[in-house]
């Protein structure tokens, strides 16, 4: 995964510099965070969480 992480980081820096367009939107990131939070809740509660 090392090369994938390096490429992701390079793209992120290019976006910050205005040299590239983000591959995903803020909405995509928010949705990923929501799903990760629900997965953690499910793990802690040891039950299925309905999305």
Output the tens digit of pLDDT for each of the chain's 51 residues.
Answer: 999 999 999 999 999 999 999 999 999 999 999 999 999 999 999 999 999
Query: What pLDDT score does 29 carry?
Result: 94
User: Can you give the three-state secondary structure of the chain, one letter per residue?
Assistant: CHHHHHHHHHHHHHHHCCCCCCCCCHHHHHHHHHHHHHHHHHHHHCCCCCC
Query: What pLDDT score does 51 carry?
Result: 92
- What residue ranges do the domains of the chain occupy? 2-45
């Amino acid at each position: 995964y090392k090369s994938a992480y390096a490429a992701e980081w390079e793209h992120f820096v290019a976006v910050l510099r205005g040299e590239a367009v983000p591959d995903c939107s803020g909405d995509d990131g928010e949705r990923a965070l929501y799903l990760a939070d629900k997965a953690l809740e499910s793990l802690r509660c040891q039950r299925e969480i309905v999305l």
